[in-house]
Amino acid sequence: MLYIKNLTKKFGSFTAVNNISLEVREGEIFAFLGPNGAGKTTTVKIISGILKPTSGEIFLDSLDVVKNPLESKKYISYIPDEPFVYPYLTAREFLKFISEVYQIPKPEKDINELLDFFSLMPYADNILSSYSHGMRQKLLIASVVLRKPKIMLFDEPTVGLDPLSVKKFKELIKKLTQNGTSIFMCTHILEMAEKISDRVAVLKNGSIAAIGSIDDILSKFKGKDLEDVFLDITNEKEVLY
Ligand SMILES: Nc1ncnc2c1ncn2[C@@H]1O[C@H](COP(=O)(O)OP(=O)(O)OP(=O)(O)O)[C@@H](O)[C@H]1O
Ligand SMILES: [Mg+2]
C-alpha radius of gyration, the chain, whole number: 18
1-20 tens-digit pLDDT: 999 999 999 999 999 999 99
Q: Which mutation among 8, 20, 42, 44 tests ligand 1's pocket best, with the greatest number of atoms within 8 A of CB?
A: 42
The response to whether residue 87 sits with its C-beta less than 6 Å from ligand 1 reads: no
134 and 161 in contact (C-beta within 8 Å)? Answer: yes
Going by alpha carbons, the residue nearest to atom 7 of ligand 1 is 11
Residues whose CB falls within 8 Å of the CB of residue 159, separated by 6 or more in sequence, listed in order: 81, 137
Question: How far apart are the CA of 206 and the centre of ligand 1, in A?
Answer: 9
Residue 239 reports pLDDT greater than 60: no
Question: How far apart are the CA of 19 and the centre of ligand 2, in A?
Answer: 18
For residue 241, what pLDDT is reported?
62
59-114 tens-digit pLDDT: 999 999 999 999 999 999 999 988 888 999 999 999 999 999 999 999 999 999 99
Residue 86, number of CB atoms within 10 A of its CB: 12
For residue 189, what pLDDT is reported?
94
Once rounded to an integer, what is the mean pLDDT over residues 48-68? 96
Q: Which mutation among 10, 13, 18, 41 tests ligand 1's pocket best, with the greatest number of atoms within 8 A of CB?
A: 41
Closest alpha carbon to 139 in 103, 88, 94? 94
The response to whether residue 34 sits with its C-beta less than 6 Å from ligand 1 reads: yes
For residue 222, what pLDDT is reported?
81
149-180 tens-digit pLDDT: 999 999 999 999 999 999 999 999 999 999 99
Domain ranges of the chain: 2-234
SS3 string of 58-117? EEECCEECCCCHHHHCCCEEEECCCCCCCCCCEHHHHHHHHHHHCCCCCCHHHHHHHHHH
How confident is residue 128, by pLDDT bands cut at 50, 70 and 90? Answer: very high
The response to whether residue 180 sits with its C-beta less than 6 Å from ligand 1 reads: no
Check the CA dihedral 161-163-167-168 and report its sign. negative
Once rounded to an integer, what is the mean pLDDT over residues 204-218? 93
- Which CATH class for the 2-234 domain? alpha beta
The response to whether residue 11 sits with its C-beta less than 6 Å from ligand 1 reads: yes
Q: Which ligand is nearest to the CA of 34?
A: 1
